[in-house]
């Protein structure tokens, strides 16, 4: 159980600032997702926590102990954490089993114990039978799973994941999500999870941190982030929402202002006989429904999930069941 | 008659081994630690030790007398005036007993058997038939070659002009004796100036070379041996010198294929009778004094 | 706890190693060269520099080393590509054979080539092509020296480059081919620039090897009155007056300056600090119809640079004396019997050379990774400077390094006592001389290991030592083994360092060879060379047997 | 316009078979997605088309010309295609612009033209201004976009994409999807697109090929694949469907068989007063709704997208609006 605290942390690479004034707390046992567009500093933040980068300013603490500030730094090997890299970072000179067993070595486990745990970790990621394979001869997704197993094998109390599921198919992904949820529940580890996939973030995390341009945009539960985004960036980034003028008069939660924007989620849009007139701009099949982009009279676009295929240019009328006044 | 003896020598490997073995056979209590190398290397080693302040050898046994003379002038050699010199011609050894001649290694002419002109004298090397076909050790690289050069220029009537004529005839001066033998037996050059034992020994094995003692006479190095002042085992060193100068030691030289320095010891096979070998005179002290001038003179003539 | 301890300690240790291996001997030479009876005195150095012989030798050294290095690159690089990146038939055998020239001492190589092309050439003689007796050997002089530098140092280029090529992932190559680039364009646009650190390392090593070579210019240059600094120094030593050491030391400083200039040029070429190369399936080119033509061309080249001179050596070793034509009547094994059976020193020398060079290779290979890693903590400028310093003892003629070692280690030192007259002084000299051979390839390899490899291990709880042992070392192993082989083979045949440092019963192969050469016993020298090649081939074959248990890419020919 | 034809193609690596008996046609101008679990052979198939691997058996044709069979092979550089690798494969010794410009070199373009096209390609992937950056100093997503730009820059008629969007966030992803759709429309290139993300496949492709274990499982339009999966593997893999016993009696399209399984999609599941009894097993928040796993009386599970949060263990009744009899 380890609480991770970042206090006014900043990080620059030469002249360019990757992170600015980040103050965050990851409570012990929490499961936090870092969400944000490419290049917003998610990986950098994770590397600061892991100890691969030293903050330019501010302090990183684990459970009150200073891990790093502007002058000192506890090296990563003494922080006792697990990490999955975006690039996997598997060791090409070891086979799959050796890669996974590596963190167990030098911790006083017997051979049989190491083998047992390794097999267990490989089973968790459905790679039983791949023990003796060279990692160079694995497919992309297989490699990612090896990296995952390597991180899970020791049962550390801090787990850092940098887009651990980016190369997995939906099913493996779902299975992995379950592995994480289980691990989390079982060990109570503090998990920080970088992702660009909001559905992952929404489904898994108990807290989501949205980053943009190296700054924190919003911190909150998935429901809060999705339902009540703190600003236009979050509103636009999380979920497939449409930001439209408040002047359309959609009933909106939050502090309404006629000059601001309101956020409308696709599932809140229905076609009715009586709604606002709109025309169909674009269609995209998603399996469950057709993601349909509608243009309102003033040119605002609205995305709706419709059960049936509409023709491009078709005139329809829309009603909005729910909307959120986005703070300016 | 026990303890060790450190010997630095430029004798060939096998000869050095035989010499040490023979001495140790005679004095089983004494262990000879010998190091052999080419004269430049062994002297560089010794000089480095000197510079570092801890010279190692008790005895030096090297090819040329000029180097010995230099060491003597620097006061590095121990005089062994009581050495038993019976059977040696007058003037062969250093008069103060600083160093002693152990054998005679003469320098004459070698030719490849494919050569059309068979040289008999040094003068023959300036003939047009030898144009571009002469190899000789460079006195700049080899001390023995320097002695040879000085001996010839002192004794031949032309003096240095002989060397100018050689240079004009395209003679090539480089390296040591080993290279000359390779060049002549390999046929790259037809004639060479070289120490006697190498071609005589190789010819016996069938190499296409022959050695000539030129009519004017030959130069000789005497492979002098000396005790160093810094010697840790001076008594053993004296025993070693006595051994080399003894009849037994001289027979060893014969058996190795060298002309022994001591009169009355037979010459090895392949050599003419001792009386047919005319050794030209040589003044080591003068050579040392003029060493740099001689080198400059030679370098000038051969453009080195 | 602090970042400083983590970064500065390895760097300091690395600097210490470099100081001991390189700065120490060089500093000792500077003292000898410049400190006269009346304090520091630059006048003699300047006077020496002004002599036309010195200037000519400087020019010759630069000239032959540079073109020799380029020729070595021209020979070694295509082989490295063919062996590492293509499906050329017999590529393992070819990679193996190409290593052999390094195992033959330069003197012997030179001798073999001279035999091959001289009037007594058995080979040319058979076809009636041998030059008439009295014809000067065509190899004498500049061209021959450059040619032999190229041949002798091609294996260095080959090994260094191959270490890089095996780490090249196929995606880089395939991305270029998909972009429409023909294989040769891929080579020029992608592979060569990606491997630039390896190329520069190879070129630098080949250049410096040329600067420090004595054997080849001694045999091919001196007879033609063509002097390099190394042969000039050798000649100087023959003067052996009391002032010889300072003079030799001065010339050595000139050599050091040349090597520094060459190395500085190299770091100019290395504009960036390098870049990490992702790992992945290694790249492969299919030669298709060119498979056998390439193999045959390779074998032909190998025949010229290895087999023919080797045959010449064998021929010479089978006749009773150099210059005798080989025939049914003259053939004899007497030379082998003489050196192997009658001279106990030869077998001893084989053993001594084997364990001294083996030990040197082992120590250098093991320490190259930590040292190179430590140096990586330094700013790029300082780093390349220190690497340059390590190259210097390799650039000096061996005999000069040996003198420096005597000056350093003759007097008993605290803790270790006097190394003089023990084999260990030879070992130390080997470590000094060949450190560059081990460090260069390893440094090039380290630059291309992605930092995440080590970071992942740190996150797994591995401290810096464990990371070094379990991650960095194995990943750099191919380069380290390549370096070790270079060290071993160079030291096994080395003559000039041990010539001054050997003591009774501690003779090395080089010492024996030199003495035979000096005595004009070329036939016996050839016999030893042939045996040497055989011994090393057997050693390599044993290594090859073990090769299946080593990580991929470790053995340069696999 | 290039039709790609694979004829009974197989590929083995040593003893292990990566692809078996693949016969496919990618018509000129088509946009095909290769979908399948990790390690099923998607990348291998793409590499066969690109010419990086030679088929062990079978023939690859472009527009009728044999590109490769068991004996001959046209090298990749003569196939005139663009490819984005899973590993990006950016050249670290070139800056961003040089990477992108590389395919233009040696095709006789002037300098100005090369610069113009490079700038255009970078603009397409929103990387204008990054020209002089070293690729080592880019974030994961930025690298992927550079790789994309490099592939698009020549306007080749065959574009092969190996999970080109795996590391992008939803918005960049949407933007990239538009870039592909536009590129496809503009150039009429034949696009083959490897993905493990079915929503990408469903949204973009006009044809989907589902692979499993190195064999083709189904070929069809997205609607067909989603709505009428050919077998249990496809049914289970595409969409978040549940396979339940036919004996529940849900009205099912397709050739019904009482012993087979039927596929039920989450959006076809409603809670009603009169349906089959079920209890809530698991919940996952997806933003738009709660993905709820229900257990039926016989132990079959059924995934439903419900608008409200239900308690774990709560008893409900479900009606299924649509189901598909999966062929055995
Ligand atoms: N070592 C570095 N040197 C210079 N700039 C860097 C370095 N590492 C990251 N950056 C820059 O810092 C910014 C944040 O990078 P980071 O890798 O943290 O992004 P990210 O949020 O992880 O993006 P992605 O989702 O694409 O992986 C980017 O603009 C990146 O170019
Ligand atoms: N060069 C190779 N040598 C041996 N096996 C290989 C090689 N390349 C691929 N394989 C194996 O072939 C199978 C198919 O691999 P491929 O890379 O095509 O999978 P994929 O469908 O792209 O998977 P992913 O979605 O994980 O990238 C895998 O089991 C893989 O391990
Ligand atoms: Mg990232
Ligand atoms: Mg793949």
Measure CA of the first residue to CA of the last residue in chain A; give whole Å.
38
Residues of chain D in Cβ contact (below 8 Å) with chain C: 50-52, 73, 75-77, 79-83, 85, 87-94, 102-103, 105-107, 134, 136, 147, 150-151, 154, 160
Q: Thinking of the domain A240-326, which architecture would CATH place it in?
A: Beta Barrel (2.40)
User: D191 forms bridges with which residues in the sheet?
Assistant: D31, D159
Residue C403's closest chain B neighbor by CA?
Answer: B48
Tell whether ligand 1 has an atom less than 6 A from the beta carbon of residue D213: no
Q: Check residue C273 and give its pLDDT.
A: 46
Q: Check residue A116 and give its pLDDT.
A: 93
Sorted by where each begins, the domain ranges of chain D are: 4-230, 240-326
Q: For residue D40, report the distance from its CA to the centre of ligand 2, in Å.
A: 7
With beta carbons less than 8 A apart as the criterion, state whether A184 and A164 touch. no
- Residues C246 and C310 both lie in one domain: yes
Distance of CA A207 to the CA centre of its chain: 10
Q: Check residue D328 and give its pLDDT.
A: 65
Question: Chain D 269-328, CB below 8 Å of chain A: which residues?
Answer: 284-289, 291, 305, 307
Q: Which residues of C touch A90 (CB under 8 A)?
A: 456
As a residue count, chain C comes to 558
Cβ partners under 8 Å of residue D246, min gap 6: D252, D256, D257, D258, D259, D260, D261, D262, D325
Tell whether ligand 1 has an atom less than 6 A from the beta carbon of residue A91: no
- Ligand 2: residue of D34, D37, D42 to mutate (most ligand atoms within 8 A of CB) is D42
**Ligand with smallest separation from the Cα of D141:** 1
Q: How far is B249 from chain C (nearest CA, A)?
A: 21
**Which residues constitute the domain of residue C134?**
51-273+285-331
Q: Rounded to whole angstroms, how far apart are CA atoms D284 and D237?
A: 19
Give the C-alpha distances (Å, rounded to integers) separating C188 from A322, B101, B138, C176, C183.
61, 68, 49, 11, 9
Classify A311 as helix, strand or coil: coil
Q: For residue D139, report the distance from its CA to the centre of ligand 3, in Å.
A: 6
Regions of chain B where pLDDT drops below 70? 304
Tell whether ligand 2 has an atom less than 6 A from the beta carbon of residue D41: yes
Q: What is the DSSP letter of D291?
A: E
Which letter, b or e, does each residue of A224-261 get, where b requires 16 or more Cβ atoms within 10 Å of its Cβ?
Answer: ebbbbbbebbbbbbbbbbbbbbbebebebebeeeeebb
- Residues C162 and C28 both lie in one domain: no
Q: For residue A162, report the distance from its CA to the centre of ligand 1, in Å.
A: 12
- Residues C220 and C326 both lie in one domain: yes
Q: For residue C378, report the distance from its CA to the centre of ligand 2, in Å.
A: 41
Q: Which residues of C touch B114 (CB under 8 A)?
A: 133-134
- Residues C317 and C449 both lie in one domain: no
Element (H, E) at A252: none
Rounded mean pLDDT of D131-157?
A: 83
Q: How sure is the predictor about D256, in pLDDT bands with cuts at 50, 70 and 90?
A: low
Query: Edge-to-edge, what's the strand order for the sheet holding D315-320?
Result: D301-306, D290-296, D269-285, D315-320
Q: What is the DSSP letter of A105?
A: T
- Ligand 1: residue of A12, A15, A18 to mutate (most ligand atoms within 8 A of CB) is A18
Percent over 90 (pLDDT), chain D: 19
- Ligand 2: residue of A139, A140, A146 to mutate (most ligand atoms within 8 A of CB) is A139
Q: Is residue C296 part of a domain?
A: yes
User: What are the pLDDT digits (tens) for D101-128?
Assistant: 998 887 788 899 999 999 998 988 888 8
Q: Which of B70, B112, B188 sits opposite C136 (nearest CB)?
A: B188
Taking only the tens of pLDDT, chain C with its 558 residues reads 344 445 567 777 878 888 877 788 888 888 877 776 676 777 766 776 777 788 889 899 999 999 999 999 999 999 888 888 888 888 888 888 888 887 777 877 887 888 788 777 767 776 777 777 777 778 888 999 999 999 889 988 988 888 778 778 888 888 888 887 888 888 888 888 888 888 888 888 888 888 888 888 988 888 788 889 888 888 777 766 667 778 888 888 888 888 887 777 666 665 454 556 665 666 777 777 888 888 899 899 888 888 888 888 888 888 888 877 777 777 888 888 888 887 777 888 888 998 999 999 999 988 888 888 888 888 777 887 888 888 888 888 887 888 888 888 877 777 777 777 788 888 989 999 898 888 878 887 887 788 888 888 888 888 888 888 888 888 888 888 888 888 988 888 787 788 778 877 788 888 888 778 777 788 888 888 888 888 888 888 887 787 666 666 667 666
Q: Thinking of the domain A4-230, which architecture would CATH place it in?
A: 3-Layer(aba) Sandwich (3.40)
Tell whether ligand 2 has an atom less than 6 A from the beta carbon of residue A140: yes
Number of domains in chain C: 2
Q: Check residue C4 and give its pLDDT.
A: 43
Classify D298 as helix, strand or coil: coil
Token pair for D118 = 């490079």
Q: Check residue A167 and give its pLDDT.
A: 66
Q: Is residue C466 part of a domain?
A: yes
CATH code of the domain containing C478: 1.10.3720.10
Q: Which of D92, D150, D154 sits opposite C277 (nearest CB)?
A: D92
Q: Check residue C281 and give its pLDDT.
A: 65
Q: Rounded to whole angstroms, how far apart are CA atoms C188 and B290?
A: 62
In the block, residue with structure tokens 């600094």: C229
Q: Rounded to whole angstroms, how far apart are CA atoms A23 and A6?
A: 5
- If you compute the radius of gyration of chain C from its CA atoms, what whole number of angstroms results? 24
Q: Rounded to whole angstroms, how far apart are CA atoms D280 and D289?
A: 15
Tell whether ligand 2 has an atom less than 6 A from the beta carbon of residue D39: yes
**Ligand with smallest separation from the Cα of D13:** 2
Tell whether ligand 2 has an atom less than 6 A from the beta carbon of residue A213: no
Cβ partners under 8 Å of residue B181, min gap 6: B110, B192, B194, B198, B199, B202, B209, C322, C520, C522
Q: How far is D73 from chain C (nearest CA, A)?
A: 9
The interface predicted TM-score (ipTM) is 0.74
- Residues C177 and C139 both lie in one domain: yes
Q: Which of C181, C275, C278 sits opposite D93 (nearest CB)?
A: C275
Taking only the tens of pLDDT, chain A with its 328 residues reads 589 999 999 999 878 888 999 999 999 888 899 998 878 889 899 999 988 888 999 999 998 889 998 888 888 888 888 888 877 888 888 889 999 999 888 788 889 999 999 999 898 888 898 998 888 878 777 887 888 889 888 878 888 988 877 767 777 777 777 777 777 777 788 889 888 778 778 887 889 999 998 999 999 998 888 888 888 888 888 878 888 887 777 777 777 665 678 888 888 888 888 888 899 988 888 877 888 889 988 888 888 888 888 888 889 998 888 888 887 6
- Residues C358 and C462 both lie in one domain: yes
**Ligand with smallest separation from the Cα of A41:** 1
Query: Edge-to-edge, what's the strand order for the sheet holding A215-220?
Result: A82-84, A158-162, A190-195, A31-35, A207-212, A215-220
Q: What is the 3-state secondary structure (H, E, C) of chain B?
A: CCEEEEEEECCCHHHHHHHHHHHHHHCCCEEEEEEECCHHHHHHHHHHHHHHCCCCCCEEECCCHHHHHHHHHCCCEECCCCCCCCCCCCCCCCCCCCEEECEEEEEEEEEECCCCCCCCCHHHHHCHHHCCCEEECCCCCCHHHHHHHHHHHHHCCCCHHHHHHHHHCCCEECCCHHHHHHHHHCCCCCEEEEECHHHHHHHHHCCCEEEECCCCCEEEECCEEEEECCCCCHHHHHHHHHHHHCHHHHHHHHHCCCEECCCCCCCCCCCCCHHHCCECCCCHHHHHHCHHHHHHHHHHHHCC
């Amino acid at each position: 159980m380890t609480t991770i605290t970042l206090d006014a942390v900043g990080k620059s690479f030469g002249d360019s600032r990757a992170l600015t004034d980040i103050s965050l707390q990851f409570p012990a046992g929490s499961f936090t997702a870092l969400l944000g567009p490419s290049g917003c500093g998610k990986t950098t933040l994770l590397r600061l926590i892991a100890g691969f980068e030293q903050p330019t300013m501010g302090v990183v603490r684990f459970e009150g102990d200073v891990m790093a500030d502007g002058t000192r730094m506890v090296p990563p090997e003494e922080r006792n954490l697990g990490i999955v890299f975006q690039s996997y970072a598997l060791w090409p000179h070891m086979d799959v089993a050796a890669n996974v067993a590596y963190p167990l070595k030098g911790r006083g486990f017997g051979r049989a114990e190491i083998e047992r745990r390794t097999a267990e970790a490989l089973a968790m990621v459905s790679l039983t039978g791949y023990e003796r394979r060279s990692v160079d001869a694995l497919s992309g997704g297989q490699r990612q799973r090896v990296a995952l197993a390597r991180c899970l094998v020791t049962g550390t109390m801090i787990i850092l994941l940098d887009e651990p599921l980016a190369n997995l198919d939906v099913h493996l992904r779902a299975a992995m999500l379950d592995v994480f949820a289980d691990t989390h529940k079982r060990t109570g580890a503090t998990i920080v999870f970088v992702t660009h996939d909001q559905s992952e973030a929404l489904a898994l995390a108990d807290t989501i941190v949205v980053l943009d341009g190296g700054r924190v945009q919003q911190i909150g539960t998935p429901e809060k982030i999705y339902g009540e985004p703190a600003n236009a960036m979050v509103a636009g980034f999380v979920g497939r929402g449409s930001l439209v003028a408040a002047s359309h008069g959609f009933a909106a939660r939050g502090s309404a202002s006629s000059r601001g924007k309101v956020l409308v989620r696709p599932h809140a849009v229905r076609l009715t006989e009586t709604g606002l007139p709109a025309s169909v701009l674009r269609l995209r099949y998603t399996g469950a429904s057709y993601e349909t982009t509608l243009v309102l009279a003033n040119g605002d676009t609205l995305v709706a999930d419709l059960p049936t295929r509409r023709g491009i240019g078709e005139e329809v009328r829309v009603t909005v069941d729910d909307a959120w006044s986005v703070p300016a | 008659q026990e303890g060790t003896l450190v010997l630095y020598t430029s004798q060939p490997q096998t000869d050095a081994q035989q010499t040490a073995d023979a001495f140790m056979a005679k004095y089983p209590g004494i262990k000879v630690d010998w190091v052999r190398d080419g004269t430049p290397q062994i002297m560089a080693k010794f000089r480095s030790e000197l510079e570092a302040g801890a010279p190692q050898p008790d005895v030096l046994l090297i090819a040329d007398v000029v180097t010995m003379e230099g060491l003597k002038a620097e006061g590095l050699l121990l005089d062994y005036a009581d050495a038993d010199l019976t059977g040696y011609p007058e003037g062969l050894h250093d008069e103060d007993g600083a160093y002693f001649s152990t054998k005679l290694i003469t320098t004459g002419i070698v030719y490849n058997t494919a050569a059309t002109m068979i040289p008999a004298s040094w003068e023959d090397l300036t003939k047009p038939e030898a144009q571009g076909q002469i190899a000789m050790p460079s006195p700049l690289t080899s001390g023995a070659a320097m002695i040879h050069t000085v001996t010839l220029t002192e004794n031949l009537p032309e003096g240095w002009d002989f060397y100018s004529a050689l240079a004009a005839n395209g003679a090539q001066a480089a390296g040591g004796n080993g290279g000359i033998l390779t060049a002549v037996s390999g046929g790259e050059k037809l004639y060479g100036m070289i120490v006697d034992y190498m071609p005589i020994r190789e010819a016996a094995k069938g190499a296409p070379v022959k050695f000539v003692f030129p009519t004017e006479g030959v130069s000789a190095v005497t492979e002098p041996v000396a005790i160093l002042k810094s010697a840790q085992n001076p008594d053993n060193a004296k025993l070693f010198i006595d051994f080399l100068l003894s009849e037994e030691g001289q027979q060893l030289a014969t058996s190795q294929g060298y002309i022994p320095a001591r009169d009355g010891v037979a010459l090895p096979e392949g050599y003419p009778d001792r009386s047919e070998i005319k050794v030209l005179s040589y003044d080591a002290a003068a050579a040392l004094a003029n060493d740099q001038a001689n080198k400059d003179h030679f370098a000038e003539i051969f453009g080195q | 706890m602090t970042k400083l301890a983590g970064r500065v300690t390895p760097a300091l240790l690395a600097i210490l190693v470099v100081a001991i291996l390189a700065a120490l001997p060089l500093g000792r030479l500077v003292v000898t060269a410049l400190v006269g009876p009346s304090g520091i005195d630059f006048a003699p150095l300047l006077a020496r520099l002004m002599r036309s012989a010195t200037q000519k030798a400087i020019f010759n050294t630069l000239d032959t080393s540079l073109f020799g290095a380029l020729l070595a690159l021209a020979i070694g690089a295509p082989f490295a590509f063919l062996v590492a990146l293509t499906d050329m038939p017999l590529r393992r055998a070819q990679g193996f054979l190409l290593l052999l020239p390094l195992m033959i001492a330069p003197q012997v190589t030179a001798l073999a080539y001279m035999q091959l092309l001289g009037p007594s050439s058995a080979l040319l003689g058979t076809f009636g092509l041998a030059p008439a007796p009295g014809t000067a050997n065509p190899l004498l002089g500049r061209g021959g020296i450059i040619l032999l530098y190229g041949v002798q140092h091609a294996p260095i280029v080959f090994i260094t480059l191959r270490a890089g090529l095996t780490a090249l992932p196929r995606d880089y190559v395939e991305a270029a081919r998909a972009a429409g680039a023909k294989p040769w364009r891929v080579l020029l646009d992608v592979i060569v620039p990606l491997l630039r650190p390896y190329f520069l390392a190879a070129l630098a090593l080949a250049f410096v090897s040329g600067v420090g070579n004595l054997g080849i210019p001694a045999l091919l240059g001196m007879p033609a009155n063509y002097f390099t600094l190394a042969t000039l120094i050798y000649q100087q030593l023959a003067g052996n007056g009391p002032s010889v050491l300072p003079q030799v030391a001065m010339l050595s400083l000139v050599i050091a300056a040349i090597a520094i200039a060459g190395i500085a040029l190299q770091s100019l070429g290395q504009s960036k600090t390098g870049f990490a190369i992702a790992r992945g399936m290694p790249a492969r080119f299919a030669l298709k119809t060119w498979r056998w033509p390439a193999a045959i061309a390779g074998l032909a080249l190998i025949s010229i640079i290895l087999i023919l001179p080797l045959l010449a050596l064998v021929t010479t070793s089978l006749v009773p004396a150099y210059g005798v034509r080989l025939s049914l009547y003259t053939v004899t094994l007497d030379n082998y019997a003489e050196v192997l059976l009658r001279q106990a020193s030869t077998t001893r020398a084989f053993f001594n050379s084997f364990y001294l060079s083996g030990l040197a290779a082992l120590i250098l290979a093991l320490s190259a990774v930590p040292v190179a890693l430590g140096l990586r903590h330094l700013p790029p400028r300082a780093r390349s400077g220190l690497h340059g310093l390590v190259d210097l003892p390799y650039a000096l003629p061996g005999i000069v390094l040996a003198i420096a070692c005597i000056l350093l280690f003759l007097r008993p030192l605290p803790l270790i006592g006097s190394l003089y007259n023990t084999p260990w002084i030879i070992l130390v000299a080997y470590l000094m001389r060949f450190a560059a051979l081990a460090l260069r390839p390893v440094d090039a390899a380290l630059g291309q290991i992605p930092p995440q490899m080590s970071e992942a291990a740190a996150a797994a709880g591995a401290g810096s030592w464990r990371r070094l042992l379990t991650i960095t070392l194995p990943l750099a192993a191919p380069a380290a083994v390549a370096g070790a082989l270079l060290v071993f083979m160079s030291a096994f045949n080395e003559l000039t360092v041990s010539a001054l440092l050997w003591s009774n019963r501690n003779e090395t192969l080089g010492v024996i060879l030199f003495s035979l050469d000096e005595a004009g016993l070329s036939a016996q020298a050839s016999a030893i060379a042939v045996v040497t090649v055989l011994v090393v081939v057997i050693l390599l074959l044993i290594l090859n047997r073990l090769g299946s248990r080593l990580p991929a890419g470790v053995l340069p020919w696999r």
